[in-house]
Amino acid sequence: MKNLLKVIDLIGPWKSTIIGTIVIIIAIKAIMNFLSFAEFSRVEFEWTVRPDLNDDSGSSYDDYRNMRRIDNEIYKYSLLNYSNPQYYSYNKTIKSIIVFEVIDCDALSVRPLSFELYAESMGEGELLNTRNPSVKPTLITLDMNEYSIMKGLCDLSPKEFEILKNDKV
């Protein structure tokens, strides 16, 4: 949202010129492209296991192929499989969650943008709920398991980032 407001401020004085019209069209196309990226149903996931986050409670995966870097933010999908199903409601249980999240490389923080709760492992089965939480970013500190992965992603050059996305990890 912060970036959208910057775009609107940037194009405000130009809106009555031909160049302004072109800038507005490009901005709208970029926004539409980004919004379609966030729709889970259109994503073909390619999960890579995160061995540092696997234990008796479950297993974690990241999808590097579908990551996007916009300025100093990285948008990515993560998956959590529960070893023991989690009670949801009306005798339904959650066995996996897919999270769409943003990493802010300047602040080294992460914030979930949306969750999908599934009845089966690996984001399969009945979609039980979709949530768009309004939570503050969580700072990633050295003592957290996610630190090395998120710091490593942020430290990649644009070329290295594209290589990671296109190669199997």
Please write the tens of the pLDDT for every residue from 142-156: 888 788 888 999 999
Structure tokens at 59: 């297993």
If you average pLDDT over every residue of the chain, what do you get? 80
Please write the tens of the pLDDT for every residue from 99-135: 999 999 999 999 999 999 999 999 999 999 999 988 8
CATH superfamily, with its number, for domain 44-166? Surface-adhesin protein E (2.40.128.710)
* Residue indicated by tokens 């070893």: 83
Q: How far apart are CA 20 and CA 14, in angstroms?
A: 4
What are the sequence ranges of the domains in the chain?
2-37, 44-166
pTM of the model: 0.70
